Amino acid sequence: MLIHSTFYSTLSASALCIVCSTAAVACEDPIKIGVLHSLSGSMAISETTLKDAMLMLIDQQNASGGLLGCELEAVVVDPASDWPLFAEKARELLTVNEVDVIFGNWTSVSRKSVLPVIEELNGLLFYPVQYEGEESSKNVFYTGAAPNQQAIPATDYFLEELGVEKFALLGTDYVYPRTTNNILESYLQDKGIAAEDIFVNYTPFGQSDWATIVADVVALGEDGKQVGVISTINGDANIGFYKELAAAGVSADDIPVVAFSVGEEELSGLDTSNLVGHLAAWNYFQSAESDANTDFISAWKAFAGAERVTNDPMEAHFIGFNMWVNAATEAGTTDVDAVRTAMYGQEYPNLTGGTAVMLPNHHLAKPVLIGEIQADGQFDIISQTSEVPGDAWTDFLPASAVLKSDWKDLGCGMYNVETETCVQLTSNY
């Protein structure tokens, strides 16, 4: 591919020249890219950064000549952490703004809201955040992690490395935590953890009162067994949870916490001195050592400010955006069906030193990283795997274990391998 062939050598320079004139383009109308991220409400703490990351990537692409002879134009909307509004804004992007692709959403409840709209209108969504699996839409590329690329490896780390015997599964009350924890309960019991040694609790978005829940978690260990917390708490509720842990004097040595939605951006607003040693499972950390990451961080700070940090969903947008550019270049068009076909097998360097590959199930192969929170809000990477293929359907629930997704050869996201039939094509799973 010609586009982005010199990306890394020009990354920082292009970021510093963001207001410079872009290359002359041959077409009159720009290629429009929908940016569907909450800029207000409970999820703004996480999603605003992803909006900014998309603006940086689009500016960089324009500085290197655009796409197919056209300039790229970001169309930014604010669904305001309001799940029905996500669907309305997605419809607006596709029918009023006529965008060619959408990058957005954080939380599965927002993605589930958007799904029927993009499937009805044959839109294309790149979803950059870990999710619960149990879904595969023809109209979504899942550039975040499936459960086998985060939740299951994190649980294995607790079992094998930290000797955790009792588990507190704490989540925000929506589809991702409930489905993920359902998978983890089944997985833990298969591993010999008794049902009574698994404590599950859900709280609303924006939950601020954590005293009782933290006390309940501490009480789990009164029998001397090692307790660990697997956190699917999302958004600004994490601030209250970690503050209460600190107030209760709970250290990582006492009760380790591994989170899937706490990254560098969330920690930047916290006093991390009492959080040292707690964990997060992602597929990227800012502390990853690679030339590509050094360039990416430099460009981001030049674009957004020296105090800004990078995080995992930013890398997912970075990979997804560049794969989409390369697929559109290969197809010679931004037509959704043509781009979808060209996406299969796309490869692009990730920021941890390896290569991301787009699979026929619309998931990436990506490494699994576990990081330990440091006093400066960064993560010490204590575990890293080679690239793990994302699995849309978990092996740890009987009804899902017989399913596979293959949009390339089978044209089906929910294929039963026992009956050799496509169960259904749309995402009302």
Main-chain dihedrals φ then ψ at residue 54, nearest 5 degrees: -65, -40
Measured CA to CA in angstroms, residue 52 lies from 44, 100, 152, 275, 387 at distances of 12, 19, 31, 27, 27
Report the alpha-carbon distance of residue 316 to residue 296 in Å, rounded: 13
**Minimal CA–CA distance to 281: which of 134, 158, 393?**
158
- pTM assigned to the model: 0.89
Measured CA to CA in angstroms, residue 347 lies from 111, 322, 339, 344, 355 at distances of 25, 9, 14, 9, 6
Report the alpha-carbon distance of residue 63 to residue 248 in Å, rounded: 51
pLDDT tens string for the chain (429 positions)?
A: 333 433 443 444 344 333 333 333 468 899 999 999 999 998 998 899 999 999 999 999 999 999 999 999 999 999 999 999 999 999 999 999 999 999 999 989 999 999 999 999 999 999 999 999 999 999 999 999 999 999 999 999 999 999 999 999 999 998 999 999 999 999 999 999 999 999 999 998 888 889 999 999 999 999 999 999 999 998 778 888 988 998 999 999 999 999 988 889 888 877 788 789 999 999 999 999 999 999 999 999 999 999 999 999 999 999 999 999 999 999 999 999 999 999 999 999 999 999 999 999 999 999 999 999 999 999 999 999 999 999 999 999 999 999 999 999 999 999 999 999 999 998 866
Report the alpha-carbon distance of residue 357 to residue 420 in Å, rounded: 26
Report the alpha-carbon distance of residue 154 to residue 232 in Å, rounded: 12
For 335, left (φ over 0), alpha (ψ -120 to 50), or beta?
Answer: beta
Half-sphere exposure of 117 (CA within 13 A, CB side): 20
Report the alpha-carbon distance of residue 357 to residue 379 in Å, rounded: 25
Report the alpha-carbon distance of residue 252 to residue 401 in Å, rounded: 34
Residue type, 69: G
Q: Residues 22, 73: contact at Cβ < 8 Å?
A: no
Beta strands in 133-209 (DSSP E): 140-142, 166-172, 198-203
Question: Computed from CA positions of residues 126, 266, 197, 161, in that sequence, does the dihedral angle turn out positive or negative?
Answer: positive
3-state SS, residue 166: strand
Q: Which domains does the chain have, with CATH numbers?
A: 7-145+288-366 (3.40.50.2300), 148-285+371-389 (3.40.50.2300)
Question: Residue 195 class from Cβ within 10 Å (0-12 exposed, 13-18 middle, 19+ buried)?
Answer: exposed
Q: What is the DSSP string of 226-280?
A: PEEEEEE--TTHHHHHHHHHHHTT--TTTS-EEESS--HHHHTTS-GGGTTT-EE
Give Cβ neighbours of residue 221 (< 8 Å, ≥ 6 apart): 166, 227, 254, 255
Report the run of H or E that residue 157 belongs to, with start and end: helix 151-160
